[in-house]
Amino acid sequence: MNTTILPEQEIPMDNNDGVPSEFDDGKMRNISSFDIVSEMKIGWNLGNSLDAEGPTETHWGNPVTTKAMIDAVANRGFKTIRIPVTWRFHQGASPDYTVSKAWFDRVEEVVNYARANNMYVILNTHHEDTWIIPTYAKADEVKNRLSKLWTQIATRFQNYSDYLIFETLNEPRYENTPQEWTGGTAEGRDVVNQYHQVSLDAIRATGGNNSLRHIMISTYAASTLPAAINALKIPNNDDRAIVSLHSYFPFPFTLAGTDTTWGTDSDKQALDNEMDKIKAKFIDNGIPVVLGEWSSGNLNNLSDRVTHASYYANAAAQRGMPSVWWDNGKIGVSNDDLGIFNRRNITWAFDDIADVIIKAYQ
C-alpha cells in the first residue's frame, strides 16, 4: 500500500534565537533516561541528507527535507526521528571553528518539523571521521574542536525540552585501519571515551536545560562486539546518559548482500543472542540503550526482509530498547538500498516493513 501525503506549509522560524514556543515547550521533566527510552519506541533516520559529505543536504542525491516528509513519518506512527548532521563543511577555521548561522538555521528548521509532531529528536555529529581520529597523537586537537562544536550546538538548542536528545558521536573509529569494524584498538577505545567525556562536559557546561539533557554515548564504531561494549565508559557516570549502538545483525543479510534469506530457527536464535548480549551488558546494569541504526538492503527479498524486521523490532522492544531504522533515501535493488520511505513523492515504498516495525512497539 502506498500512502500519499500532500505537501504542507513549511514551519516558519522564530528569529532563530531560541525555541519557538508553538513547537517545543522547553520543559525538562523529572524523569530518568529509562523513562525517556520507554517513550521513544520506534524511530526513523533522516539519513544521507543533513549528514551528506558536501556543502548542501542534497549533495548525495536526496531532495531537500520538507515538513511534509516529516509529517508523513510521524503520521505513519514513528515516535522518534534521528537527524544525522555533518558540521565540518559549515565550520570556520581554528581557533573558533564557528558553525555558520545559515547551517544552524537549517538544522533547527528540520528539528522543528519533528517537534511540531511531538517526536523525540536525536541530534548528532555525523561523518566527521576525517577529523575525529581516535589516536593519542590527534587527541588534544580533536578534543579542542569537539568541545567548541558541542558548546555551539548545545548553546543553540539550550532551551529545547528533553524531547531533544544529543548524541555526541556517531560511529567513532579510525577509518581505513584493520580494526575499524572489529572493535578498535585499546588506544582507539580509550580515546573514544575521552572524546565522549569532552563532548558531554561541553554540553553540560552550557547550563540551563543542558544540565539535565539526556545524551547518547556510543561504543567504538557504535559496535556491539565485546571489545567495544566492554571498553565503553560513561563520562562521570552521568545518570542521564544512554548507550547508542548500531546492530546491523546479521551483517551478511542486512548490509553485505551476501545472504538474501532470513527466518530459520537458528537465525532467530542468533538474533536473540545478540539482543540478550546487549541487555546483559547494559540494561541489566541500569544503563539504557538505543539501537540508533539498523535496517536491511533490498535484494528483491521482501518476504525475508519483513520477517527479519518484525522479529528484530519485537526482540528489541521486548528488551526495552527503542530502534531507529536507517533510511538513506535509496529506493532501488541493491544491498545499499535501505530506504523504506520515498521522499520524492511522499509515499511508503516498503509499507509492509514500516507496518511490522511500528506494530512491534504498540
pLDDT tens, position by position, 286-302: 999 999 999 999 999 99
Confidence at residue 19, expressed as pLDDT on a 0 to 100 scale: 54
Q: With bands split at pLDDT 50, 70 and 90, how would you rate the model's confidence at 82?
A: very high
Q: With bands split at pLDDT 50, 70 and 90, how would you rate the model's confidence at 22?
A: confident
Pairing, β 323-325 against β 42-45: parallel
Angle of helix 136-156 relative to helix 186-205, nearest 10 degrees, comes to 30
| CA atoms of 110 and 116, how far apart (whole Å) | 10
pLDDT digits (tens, 9 = 90+) for 316-343: 999 999 999 999 999 999 999 999 999 9
Q: With bands split at pLDDT 50, 70 and 90, how would you rate the model's confidence at 5?
A: very low
Does residue 57 contact residue 97 with C-beta atoms inside 8 Å?
A: no
Q: Is the model's pLDDT at 137 over the cut of 70?
A: yes
Q: Is the model's pLDDT at 40 over the cut of 50?
A: yes
Q: Is the model's pLDDT at 16 over the cut of 80?
A: no
pLDDT digits (tens, 9 = 90+) for 50-66: 999 999 999 999 999 99
Confidence at residue 230, expressed as pLDDT on a 0 to 100 scale: 98
pTM of the entire predicted model: 0.95
pLDDT digits (tens, 9 = 90+) for 200-248: 999 999 999 999 999 999 999 999 999 999 999 999 999 999 999 999 9
Confidence at residue 198, expressed as pLDDT on a 0 to 100 scale: 98
Confidence at residue 279, expressed as pLDDT on a 0 to 100 scale: 98
| CA atoms of 277 and 273, how far apart (whole Å) | 6
Q: Is the model's pLDDT at 15 over the cut of 80?
A: no
At 114, list the grid cell: 519533528
Q: Is the model's pLDDT at 121 over the cut of 70?
A: yes
pLDDT digits (tens, 9 = 90+) for 255-286: 999 999 999 999 999 999 999 999 999 999 99
The 3-state DSSP class for residue 42 equals strand
Confidence at residue 21, expressed as pLDDT on a 0 to 100 scale: 56
Dihedral sign computed on CA atoms, order 88, 90, 96, 102: negative
| CA atoms of 162 and 328, how far apart (whole Å) | 26
Q: What is the mean pLDDT of residues 22-29?
A: 92
pLDDT digits (tens, 9 = 90+) for 155-211: 999 999 999 999 999 999 999 999 999 999 999 999 999 999 999 999 999 999 999
Confidence at residue 17, expressed as pLDDT on a 0 to 100 scale: 52
Asked if omega into 250 is within 30° of 0 (cis), the reply is yes
Q: Is the model's pLDDT at 20 over the cut of 60?
A: no
Q: Is the model's pLDDT at 13 over the cut of 60?
A: no
Q: What DSSP line would sit under 189-234, residue for residue? A: HHHHHHHHHHHHHHHHHT-GGGGT--EEEE-GGG--SHHHHHH---
Active site residues: 171, 293
| CA atoms of 270 and 30, how far apart (whole Å) | 38
Q: Is the model's pLDDT at 18 over the cut of 70?
A: no
Q: How far is CA 342 from CA 54, 339, 348, in A?
A: 22, 7, 6
